[in-house]
Amino acid sequence: MKRFLIIAAILVGMAVCVAPAHAERGPKVLLIPREGNSRDIELMLTKEVGVMIITLKDAGVQVVVASASGQPIVGRTTTLEPDLKLGDVKVADYAGFIMPCMAVGLFPGPPVAPEAVAIVKKAVAEGKPVAAQLGSVIILAEAGVLAGKRYAFFTDPLNPSYGQERDIRFAGAIYSDINVVQDGNIITSGTSPYIARMFGFPDGTATLTQALIVELKKK
């Protein structure tokens, strides 16, 4: 009996050691937050970025955060520390990409980081899944990868409501819905925690992230 207990203890110890190693073998996803004057950075860090990271990690996905500046994004009680700058990213290192809205505003919004545009172009060209929520769908538009593709957005950027201006970066793309839309390896959401709170629409964060996980599992 004593010998059995010793063996059981050894096996439990092995299981604990193996679990993290197994997690490290999961696919790696790059999370690219938009930087700029957010309407509610604390909300977006906790209910958008936080949900994305937790959901991905729970699915065995490694998450790396990269931003243009490489500087911390600081909320009232929450801080997002990037792992590297966008300029140091190698697309080949990642199985997929996800870009939260961050509530930085729509048209015209803050400038889109050219490094993010370059990463998106290469990722889409290589057939890697790219997921973007609301404010970051603009990165896809600026990268030119939405041409002929269905996508989600808060309102049609070429025929906007709610006082928004027309955004010609979306010319040639097919506005489809406010809810999560997938067309090939591009997954988009037209809502976010901020929009959900302001207008009562469903928040697309969890659905967008799960759709990316499904695509990662196909690889």
pLDDT digits (tens, 9 = 90+) for 194-206: 999 999 999 999 9
The arrangement of secondary structure in 27-218, i.e. its CATH architecture, is 3-Layer(aba) Sandwich (3.40)
pLDDT digits (tens, 9 = 90+) for 121-131: 999 999 999 99
Domain boundaries, the chain: 27-218
pLDDT digits (tens, 9 = 90+) for 33-58: 999 989 999 999 999 999 999 999 99
Asked whether residue 16 carries a pLDDT value surpassing 60, the answer given is: no
- pLDDT confidence tier of residue 25, bands split at 50, 70 and 90: confident
% pLDDT > 70, the chain: 88
Distance of CA 86 to the CA centre of its chain: 14
**Neighbour-count burial of 18, counting CB atoms closer than 10 A to its CB (0-12 exposed, 13-18 middle, 19+ buried):** exposed
Asked whether residue 22 carries a pLDDT value surpassing 60, the answer given is: no
CA nearest to 33, candidates 140, 179, 169, 133: 133
Asked whether residue 21 carries a pLDDT value surpassing 80, the answer given is: no
- pLDDT confidence tier of residue 1, bands split at 50, 70 and 90: very low
Q: What is the pLDDT, as a whole number, of residue 161?
A: 77
Asked whether residue 211 carries a pLDDT value surpassing 80, the answer given is: yes
Asked whether residue 15 carries a pLDDT value surpassing 80, the answer given is: no
Q: Are strands 130-133 and 62-67 parallel, antiparallel or unpaired?
A: unpaired
The model's pTM: 0.87
pLDDT digits (tens, 9 = 90+) for 58-113: 999 999 999 999 999 999 999 999 999 999 999 999 999 999 999 998 777 788 99
Q: What is the DSSP letter of 196?
A: H
Please name every residue paired with 62 in a beta bridge, in sequence order, or none if there are none.
28
